[in-house]
Structure 1
Amino acid sequence: MADRVRPGRAVSDGGDPRRLLESAAGLVGAAPDGPPAGPLRVGVDLGTASCVLVVLDGDGRPVWVDSHPSGALRDGVVVDFARATATVRLLRTRAEEALGVTLASAATAYPPCIPVKDARACTYVCESAGFTDVVLVDEVTAAQRTLEVVDGVVVDVGGGSTGVGVFRGGRLDALDDRAGGGHHLDLVLAGALGLSVEDAEVHKREHQRDSLPVLVPGLQRIAESVRAMTRDAEELPLHLAGGALMITGAGDVLAEYLERTVVTYPHALLITPIGIARSAA
């Protein structure tokens, strides 16, 4: 069933998301060449395992990409407000120092279907970190703003949850979210190998080939969630976003289990942060 898995390519007239993601990935840890052309747009993806901050220039090109371990969220909900705020403030300060500008506004995102008060907590974190104007968007819509899927399903697998958006004709037709993501895969691996959850996350990244067989049941559980959330859209391909499934072979597992076409992208961890930045005012 491996022929059901294909790399992401241009899915609309908006351009090729692969080139955009490759460009953004090349900026991680890199100093900018010079002052960026404004106005700048900032995206803050709070994340379960790490927080990612992306800055786009006036033409929508990435000019700064940075991340820092967080652990302040669980299942998409802020559980350590002080730690989350400190992480965002650190990333904002590093970006300002590198770019030589003040970043006053930003966008951030929340998993679909969580309570309104929990979604607003993401806004409050960014405001407490120094952003005075914060736009709030759901993570699936943010991912779509990077991928620009016309007819397909955007599957955003984060650390704590899996969000699904069904798009027809480029318009959102259905939106849903269920618990279960990268953190749950880490728990499976930690239990099987006798590791701490933190060490399991590292092992998953550094030993992907060895980790995949152990993670198949967890991946199939995620696949079942996707199946349940897309019962009226079985004919549409799945476009994978988020860092949780950045494991070689994960797309094949989902494609074989669901018997559906799965579209994968390089540096999928950056899909949602870039889309969040595109959502900024």
Structure 2
Amino acid sequence: MNSNIAAVNTLLIAAAAMVNDDSVALYSGPFKVGIDLGTADIQTVVLDANNQPLACYLEWADVVRDGVVVDYHGACRIVREQIRRAEARLGINIQQACTSFPPGTDPRISINVIESSGIEVSNVIDEPSSVAALLGLQHAAVVDIGGGTTGTAIIEKGKVVKSVDDPTGGHHITLVLAGYHALPYEEAELLKRRDNSGEVLSVIQPVIAKMADLVRGHIAEHRPPAIYLTGGSCSLHGFATAFTAEFSDIDVIIPSQALYLTPLAIAAFAIAENARQASVG
């Protein structure tokens, strides 16, 4: 099993360390920008030509559901603000970016938001293909535990040959927690994000088992030697152990900072743009 997971983990750790960091770090040179419109968050990542992170912004937002933008103006506002902050941090002028779309959805949905935010879309790619390209996968499965769905993509000879979305993800984990603890949804969401004790795992383990069962059915005929997980829900305390336990004959690889893998992969796929030095202050 060959992949670039070790190198990518290093990039992910660097990206995580600068999330929402507005401190000035002037940059001059080619750069690439990726914008990920997720169900639970919107992320903008800026990389240099060697995919080293320069800026990373994340805002939790309920503006996209199942690949459909339900708060168009809210999504545009967040993208514009993240671009503004990245420009101010690096002293650059961002004119174009790469974006993505969940397999089976219309890529114009993401493209329209980016363009309405004043940014040219240089190129667009489906989410699992971007992850497969960044990791250099040839034969594997990419499983994206998103906010609204669990997406399973089969990679063969470096190409996505099958992609399926199931309606279970981080949103459903939150609903289970809300019901179990009799909490409002927003409080259950905060409990999920902040848990580092394993308390959440004991409640949501059946949900994880259901996700794994769905994935198992999708990959059965293709027999990939490894599953690569992405998505913020993978970072839940104990998630990796519980999901891996459901697969005795397949390697399950979870990156160091799964929340940032897809945005990083989208940015890495972007067409490089030359930096334009701007005054900061």
What's the TM-score once normalised by structure 2's chain length? 0.89
Q: Does 1:263 align with 2:260?
A: no
SS in 1 for 2:235: coil
Aligned position for 2:211: 222
Is the Cα–Cα contact under 8 Å of residues 168 and 211 in structure 2 kept in the other structure? yes
Moved more, 76-85 or 11-20: 11-20
Query: Partners in 2 of 1:124 and 1:36 — Cα distance?
Result: 29
Structure 2, unmatched stretches of 5+, are: 272-281
Is the Cα–Cα contact under 8 Å of residues 180 and 222 in structure 1 kept in the other structure? yes
Aligned position for 2:103: 112
> Cα distance 1:60–1:32, how it changes in 2: closer, same or farther (>3 A)?
farther
> Cα distance 1:83–1:21, how it changes in 2: closer, same or farther (>3 A)?
same
1:133-184 C-alpha deviation (Å, 9 max, x unpaired): 3422111112223322233211111111122222234333322222221111
Is the Cα–Cα contact under 8 Å of residues 85 and 129 in structure 1 kept in the other structure? yes
- One-letter identity of the residue aligned with 1:249: G
- Report the count of equivalent residues: 269
SS in 1 for 2:270: coil
Alignment map for 1:81-100 (pairs within 5 Å): 81-100=72-91
SS in 2 for 1:159: coil
Shift in Å at residue 262 of structure 1?
A: 1.2
SS in 1 for 2:234: coil
Of the candidates 141, 144, 153, which is equivalent to residue 153 of structure 1?
A: 141
Q: Does 1:79 align with 2:70?
A: yes
Structure 1, unmatched stretches of 5+, are: 1-9
Query: Partners in 2 of 1:85 and 1:135 — Cα distance?
Result: 18
Of the candidates 174, 177, 180, which is equivalent to residue 186 of structure 1?
A: 174
1:20-75 C-alpha deviation (Å, 9 max, x unpaired): 11111122233466432432111111111211110011222110011112210112
Shift in Å at residue 189 of structure 1?
A: 0.9
Aligned position for 2:190: 202
SS in 1 for 2:246: helix
Is the Cα–Cα contact under 8 Å of residues 195 and 237 in structure 2 kept in the other structure? no
- One-letter identity of the residue aligned with 1:96: E
Moved more, 131-140 or 84-93: 131-140
Is the Cα–Cα contact under 8 Å of residues 73 and 80 in structure 1 kept in the other structure? yes
- One-letter identity of the residue aligned with 1:222: M
Query: Partners in 1 of 2:97 and 2:184 — Cα distance?
Result: 35
Is the Cα–Cα contact under 8 Å of residues 139 and 163 in structure 1 kept in the other structure? no
> Cα distance 1:99–1:230, how it changes in 2: closer, same or farther (>3 A)?
same
SS in 2 for 1:54: strand
Query: Partners in 1 of 2:213 and 2:3 — Cα distance?
Result: 28
Alignment map for 1:8-157 (pairs within 5 Å): 11-12=2-3, 16-31=7-22, 34-114=25-105, 116=106, 119-157=107-145
Is the Cα–Cα contact under 8 Å of residues 229 and 258 in structure 2 kept in the other structure? yes
Query: Partners in 2 of 1:97 and 1:214 — Cα distance?
Result: 43
Of the candidates 168, 174, 179, which is equivalent to residue 156 of structure 2?
A: 168
- One-letter identity of the residue aligned with 1:240: L
Aligned position for 2:239: 250
Shift in Å at residue 277 of structure 1?
A: 0.7
Of the candidates 244, 248, 263, which is equivalent to residue 273 of structure 1?
A: 263
Identity %: 33
